[in-house]
Structure 1
Amino acid sequence: MVRALAAMVIAAAVCAVLSCWLVLIGWSLMGDAVSHAVLPGVVLAYVLGAPFALGAVVFGFLAVALIGVIRDTSRIKEDAAIGTVFTTLFALGLVLISVTPSQTDLNHIVFGNLLGVGRADLGQIAVLGAVALTALLLKRRDFTLYAFDPVHAHAIGLDPRLLGAALLGLLALTCVVALQVVGVVLVVAMLIIPGATAHLLTDRFGWMLVIAPAVSVGAAAVGLYLSYHLDTASGAMVVLVQGAVFLPAYLFGPHGALAGRIAAGRRRARTCG
């Protein structure tokens, strides 16, 4: 349980920080695509005895390249291209799992195995998480400018394509961090829900970088505790708690649904008055 909690906290913090940029850029579908597309890369890395991160990053960039090619060379729009590529690569990963002889259950890659995290797994999660988080924080100003105004970023000498590629690489790396914890299927929730929740609670990006990991880490601790006492799936319970936190933020947050209606009602009252 101690190793499970440590692994979940690390994964939750890294995913939450990255989710702030994914939400602002509008890369929710891209996060879904990359998180599923890395599956065959992870399986092939296991077969070849290579690091999981290497296979994940390669297939993450491959997915993005295929999406761009399909979008730019046909009449298919980006959302359809994303859906086609990530489902095909995800299916390829499932097929590879089914035909790969292994002494370990590779289905844990799909659904996660939080309570099966060993010392070596925790070490890998900690190292990869530290690399991803350090890169995000060191380049946060450039990534933020890219998210808000890529044209201005290019005007001051930054390369928007390079920044986008760096974010996609960190996305693939973050997926590897969370694979052992919640599996491929639920990684996208940890990559989107914390940032979306923080976006409803503040309009300052600096505060988003504080609120999102706080919400995510808190949900990780509560979800793991509840899963232990209720005897439920750990990763799924953590995501369920994150969703439960998102709901009141959506309804009652400063930028939530009810706040918008109240503000609109006040504007109509002033206009009528």
Structure 2
Amino acid sequence: MNPLDFLLEPLSYDFMVRALATSVTAAIVCAVLSCWLVLIGWSLMGDAVSHAVLPGVVLAYVVGAPFALGAVIFGFLAVALIGIVRNTSRIKEDAAIGIVFTTLFALGIVLISVTPSQTDLNHIIFGNLLGVSWADLAQVLILGAITLTILLVKRRDFTLYAFDATHAHAIGLNPKVLGAALLGLLALTAVVALQAVGVVLVVALLIIPGATAYLLTDRFSRMLVIAPVMSALAAITGLYLSYYLDTASGGMIVLVEGCIFALVYLFSPTQGVIGKRLGAMKRQRMLAAQ
């Protein structure tokens, strides 16, 4: 098989075209948002919201409402419950997050088990990338476009909030509103990624790209370019590997993301474990030569 046939054969199937468009869209949107999540230190919050939206998505399915509506409602509910537990007890934030998101996630699993449906709702948990319909793809593209547009238009405000919320307040911005907006976008992004990898693996798409880009550059503007480009390439590579190796597509995409992070963690010129040692050795040789 020549390289061109290798690339074109999967695209001869409509389900692969839909899967590719869905996975790339989800990868790009998640990667852009992940830059702020990593910068603010909201990795656990991303995990919590991505899992807590499950009962909202199931209830939205039951009443015939858009998935995004149920996800946003339960995303904000999770954040509110975390705040209540943290502020009204001795429980610290990380424990509060664990309690709330696991409870809501379990509620979603229970709802799936008792909800009569002609379709298998378990794909919400594990993803069903190869079963994405044209209607699902349209929803992903619309929600992805809305989320990405808001993130890019308000990127300066979100970045200032991430670096210095006090300064943001001093120049007239409302940190609480900006934080709430990011959480709402997080819930929408979770819905986008649900179609690709399911609830269980959403957090990987929301954290790994930003963390990887963070090891490659000290400039946030570059992170916003590196993370989505790398994530999109991982989505394409993972989907092709899953096609030829007959493996789970969502899991393979996340596995590729993880492998890219491992390589950057080891060999990044400035932050990599091996890269820093090689750089130090090179500088020592240069000093010795002088």
Give, in angstroms, the shift of residue 180 of structure 1.
1.1
The residue aligned with 1:57 is: 72
The residue aligned with 1:226 is: 241
1:195 aligned onto 2:195: no
- Aligned AA (2:70): G
- Aligned AA (2:199): V
The residue aligned with 1:256 is: 272
The residue aligned with 2:130 is: 115
Q: Which has more radius of gyration?
A: 2
Q: In 1, Cα distance between the equivalents of 2:69 and 2:210?
A: 26
The residue aligned with 1:150 is: 165
Runs of at least 4 residues of structure 1 off by over 3 A? 258-267
1:245 aligned onto 2:270: no
State the identity as a percent: 78
Q: In 2, Cα distance between the equivalents of 1:92 and 1:50?
A: 19
1:46 aligned onto 2:61: yes
Q: In 1, Cα distance between the equivalents of 2:277 and 2:174?
A: 40
1:216 aligned onto 2:231: yes
- Paired residue total: 269
Q: In 1, Cα distance between the equivalents of 2:266 and 2:157?
A: 32
Give, in angstroms, the shift of residue 7 of structure 1.
0.5
Q: In 2, Cα distance between the equivalents of 1:263 and 1:164?
A: 39
Give, in angstroms, the shift of residue 259 of structure 1.
4.2
Give, in angstroms, the shift of residue 264 of structure 1.
7.4
Gaps of 5+ in 1: none
1:19 aligned onto 2:40: no
Q: In 2, Cα distance between the equivalents of 1:65 and 1:108?
A: 27
Give, in angstroms, the shift of residue 263 of structure 1.
6.9
Give, in angstroms, the shift of residue 139 of structure 1.
0.3
Q: In 2, Cα distance between the equivalents of 1:98 and 1:218?
A: 36
- Aligned AA (1:258): I
- Aligned AA (1:123): A
Residues 114-171 of structure 1 show CA distances to partners (whole Å, capped at 9, x for unaligned) of: 0000100000000000000000000000000011111110111101110000000000
Q: In 1, Cα distance between the equivalents of 2:280 and 2:70?
A: 50
The residue aligned with 2:13 is: none
1:6 aligned onto 2:21: yes
The residue aligned with 2:110 is: 95
Residues 21-59 of structure 1 show CA distances to partners (whole Å, capped at 9, x for unaligned) of: 000000000000000000000000000110000000000
Gaps of 5+ in 2: 1-15
Q: Could you say what secondary structure the match of 2:173 adopts?
A: coil
Q: Provide TM-score, normalisation by structure 2.
A: 0.90
The residue aligned with 1:77 is: 92
Give, in angstroms, the shift of residue 262 of structure 1.
6.0
Q: Could you say what secondary structure the match of 1:180 adopts?
A: helix
Among candidates 205, 215, 220, match of residue 220 of structure 2? 205
The residue aligned with 1:176 is: 191
Distance 1:169 1:262, change over 3 A: same
Give, in angstroms, the shift of residue 256 of structure 1.
2.2
1:131 aligned onto 2:156: no
What is the root-mean-square deviation of aligned Cα atoms in Å? 1.5
1:105 aligned onto 2:120: yes
Q: In 1, Cα distance between the equivalents of 2:277 and 2:167?
A: 34
